[in-house]
Amino acid sequence: MKKLLAMLFIMLFIAGCSKPSYDFLYTKARIDNSSCPQAAIVSGNECYTIPDLAYNEAIDWHLNRLATLGWEGNASNDFTPFSFIYRKEEVTVQLTFYPLNSTTEGNLITIEYDKPGTGLLITPDGRGSYGRERG
C-alpha cells in the first residue's frame, strides 16, 4: 500500500510539474521544443505547440485572453514570426508565434497560415526571442 501511495504521489508531482505555468495559455497547448527555433530554447524560455489553432487564430485567442486577464501590451514587430510584449503587475513576457505548416517546392517555401498548428515561444522578462537582453 505504501508503494502504491508513493507511486501515486510521484505521478501527481510529475504531472503537476509538466503543466503550463501561465494562466493565459490555450488549454490544449503542450510543451514541445520542436515547435520553436533551437536557438530560442534557452534557460527560462518555454516553447509550446498549439495543435488545433491556425496561426492567426492562435494569436487572436491569446491576445483576447491576455486582455481579459488584465495584461497590457502590444506587438513588438510586424513580420512573421509575430512577437508581442505583455506586462501585468511586475511580470513581463514576450510571446513569439511560429507557423508550423509549410510546403516546399524546389527552393520555394510556402507558409500555410490557415492550417492548424502553431508554435509559441514564451520568453520571461521580455528578453527577446533568443534570450538576449533588450537594450
70-104 pLDDT per residue, tens? 999 999 998 889 999 999 999 999 999 999 998 88
pTM of the predicted structure, to 2 decimals:
0.77
Q: Are 94 and 84 in contact (CB under 8 A)?
A: yes
Q: List the one residue out of 36, 27, 46 whose CA is nearest residue 124.
A: 46
| Mean pLDDT, residues 108-133 taken together | 81
- Residue 119: which of 85, 92, 93, 96 has the closest Cα? 96
Which residues lie closer than 8 Å to 101 by C-beta, 6 or more apart? Answer: 111, 112, 113, 115, 116, 117
- State the DSSP H helix or E strand holding residue 11, giving kind and residue range, or none if neither: helix 2-17
Q: Measured at the alpha carbon of residue 93, what is the angle toward residues 29 and 37, in degrees to the nearest 5? A: 60
* Range among 15-24, 31-40, 51-60, 122-131 with highest mean pLDDT value: 51-60
